[in-house]
């Protein structure tokens, strides 16, 4: 039987967040815990911070399936890229490293893919047919490409080259903060980015996640696109929810590796 409750941990370029999730409703059963991602984002430091977060949750809620999502290409449990974390992650058997340190089997997945899964299960992509492209606007840009609710993993469309730049370096929320942009100035960059995605994928729906999606009224209406564009229902919690749900589903089927996504 699929577990009804699981722990989701979302490792980001800026913060590590975790919570216990009710998998029937997608509601958080604990407060959302957050610690800053250690400077440099090196493996040993991120592993230590994740262990501390999990210990806190387990002290209160006991042993539950654990899902961890991560800001990198994840294949066969290995991290194959590193944009906003240390390059030492590239090529590491990260899933096994987390399992050794956390002393539990985990489900390990890309953070945007986890968010996409969560929005299909509990949010804005539920029952949506066709091509849905979820983007998370945060330290970087994460993407989840869904077709009739099925995820194509590791799309990494935040790294499209656009006007000679890595797209996320101009259009992520961190670029708005770094360059002190007004909503209107940032929206111009988003316009360029989403128009390009539209050209490439002719999506039926864009979903915008990440912490800044709570301010969607400040920038989504400024965009002029053919495709409807809406905020993620679960905003910045989607990664936690998706990782938790995949962990419960994977473990019930006796699987807990990235391939089971
Ligand atoms: C990473 C992606 C990640 C995204 C959001 C990008 O820089 O390459 O793997 O999904 O940031 O965290």
Q: Give domain limits for the chain.
A: 5-113+237-252, 127-231
Q: Give the Å distance between the CA of 140 and the centre of ligand 1.
A: 5
Please check whether the two domains, 5-113+237-252 and 127-231, share a CATH topology. yes
Residue-level pLDDT at 255: 43
* pLDDT over 60 at 242, yes or no: yes
Q: Give the Å distance between the CA of 121 and the centre of ligand 1.
A: 21
Report residue 250's pLDDT band, with 50, 70 and 90 as the boundaries.
confident
Length of the chain, please?
Answer: 261
Least confident of 136-150, 217-231, 247-261: 247-261
* pLDDT over 70 at 47, yes or no: yes
Q: Could you read off the pLDDT of 54-77 as tens digits, one per residue?
A: 999 999 999 999 999 999 999 999
Ligand 1 binding pocket mutation candidate from 37, 79, 84, 145 (most atoms within 8 A of CB): 84
The Cα–Cα gap between 219 and 212 comes to 10
- Residue (of 18, 85, 44, 21) closest to 249 by Cα position: 21
5-113+237-252 is classed CATH 3.30.420.40? yes
pLDDT > 90: what percent of the chain?
93
- Residue (of 126, 137, 117) closest to 236 by Cα position: 137
Residue-level pLDDT at 2: 65
User: Is residue 28 within 8 Å of 237, Cβ to Cβ?
Assistant: yes
* pLDDT over 80 at 99, yes or no: yes
Helix, strand, coil share (%) of the chain residues, nearest 5: 40, 25, 35
pLDDT > 70: what percent of the chain?
95
The Cα–Cα gap between 184 and 99 comes to 44
Report residue 257's pLDDT band, with 50, 70 and 90 as the boundaries.
very low
127-231 is classed CATH 3.30.420.40? yes
User: Is residue 135 within 8 Å of 167, Cβ to Cβ?
Assistant: no
Q: Identify the residue whose C-alpha is closest to ligand 1 atom 4.
A: 142
Q: Give the Å distance between the CA of 49 and the centre of ligand 1.
A: 19
The DSSP symbol for 29 reads S
Average confidence score pLDDT of the chain = 94
* pLDDT over 80 at 149, yes or no: yes
- Beta bridge partners of residue 166, listed in sequence order: 161
Is the pLDDT higher at 256 or at 240?
240
User: Is residue 58 within 8 Å of 19, Cβ to Cβ?
Assistant: no
The Cα–Cα gap between 170 and 174 comes to 9
HSE at residue 118, side-chain half, CA atoms within 13 A, is 38
Residue 246 CA, chain-centre distance (Å), reads 13
Report residue 3's pLDDT band, with 50, 70 and 90 as the boundaries.
confident
Average pLDDT of the segment spanning 240-256:
78
**DSSP assignments along 153-218, one per residue:** ----GGG-EETTEEHHHHHSHHHHHHTT--HHHHHHHHHHHHHHHHHHH--SEEEEESGGGGGHHH
* pLDDT over 50 at 260, yes or no: no
């Amino acid at each position: 039987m699929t577990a009804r409750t699981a722990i989701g941990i979302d490792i980001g370029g800026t913060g590590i967040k975790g919570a216990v999730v009710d998998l029937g409703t997608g509601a958080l059963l604990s407060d959302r815990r957050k610690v800053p991602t250690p400077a440099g984002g090196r493996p040993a430091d991120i592993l230590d911070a994740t262990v501390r977060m999990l210990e806190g949750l387990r002290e209160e809620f006991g042993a539950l399936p654990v899902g961890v999502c991560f800001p990198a290409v994840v294949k066969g449990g290995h991290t194959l890229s590193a944009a906003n974390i240390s390059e030492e992650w590239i090529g590491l058997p990260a899933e096994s490293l987390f399992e050794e340190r956390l002393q539990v089997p985990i489900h390990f997945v890309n953070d945007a893919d986890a968010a996409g899964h969560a929005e299909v299960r509990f949010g804005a992509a539920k029952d949506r047919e066709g091509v849905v492209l979820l983007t998370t606007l945060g330290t970087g840009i994460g993407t989840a490409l869904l077709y009739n609710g099925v995820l194509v993993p590791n799309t990494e469309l935040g790294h499209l080259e656009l006007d000679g730049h890595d797209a996320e370096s101009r259009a992520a929320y961190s670029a708005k903060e770094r360059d002190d942009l007004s909503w209107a100035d940032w929206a111009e960059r988003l316009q360029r980015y989403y128009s390009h995605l539209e050209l490439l994928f002719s999506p039926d729906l864009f979903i915008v996640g990440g912490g800044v999606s709570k301010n969607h009224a400040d920038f989504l209406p400024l965009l002029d696109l053919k495709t409807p564009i809406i905020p993620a229902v679960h905003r910045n919690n989607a990664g936690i929810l998706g990782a938790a749900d995949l962990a419960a589903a994977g473990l019930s089927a006796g699987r807990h590796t990235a391939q089971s996504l």
